[in-house]
Homo-oligomer: A and B are copies of this chain.
Amino acid sequence: MHNDDSTELDSFDYRILQRWQADTRLPAKTIADEIGLSVAAVQRRLKRLRDSGVIRREVAELEPRPLGLAVTCVVMVDLERESAADLERFRRKMLAAAEVQQCYYVTGQSDFVLIVLVSDMEAYDAFTRRTLLDDTNVRSFTTHVTLERVKTGAGLALRDKP
């Protein structure tokens, strides 16, 4: 499904999403009690939110360190040409590159912003060589090595609804 239709979200949906986006291990019963709905109603809404695409997916957030990914870099990439085909080519490359956790196409002096996770600087070097330096359409890029991941994740700021 990807039913992007006129999904009106009410206050209950927001309160469910607030909890669900923080912890999918919560039993529906807990949420139901907190917001004053039945368990079935909460689960019905969760299903609806999944089917409508509001909930993209339910995933586990892993700790990079113990998995050997100690280095996070923010990379600003400037392209030479920006034709639709060029952009699409670069897009695909980023989607295919496992080291690229996130990729944004942006306005401003740079064209793309990447969040790259690698095991060490050697791996980062290999990544840039393979993905950026060898690309004749990459005019330049600047690297910011992360000293601390102050805040991470994909959480959204949900306001309550009246």
Contact = CB atoms under 8 A, between A and B. Distances in A.
Interface of A: 4, 7, 9, 17, 20-25, 52-64, 66-67, 69, 72, 74, 91, 94-95, 98-110, 112-113, 115, 117, 142-158
Nearest to A52: B66
Nearest to A116: B157
21 contacts: A17-B60, A20-B60, A21-B61, A23-B59, A24-B60, A56-B63, A58-B59, A59-B60, A59-B61, A59-B153, A62-B154, A62-B156, A72-B104, A95-B151, A101-B153, A102-B115, A104-B146, A106-B144, A106-B147, A108-B143, A152-B154
Give the number of copies in the complex. Answer: 2
A77 to B, nearest CB: 11
B59 A154 contact: yes
Contacts of A100: 151
B58 A23 contact: yes
Contacts of A9: 66-67
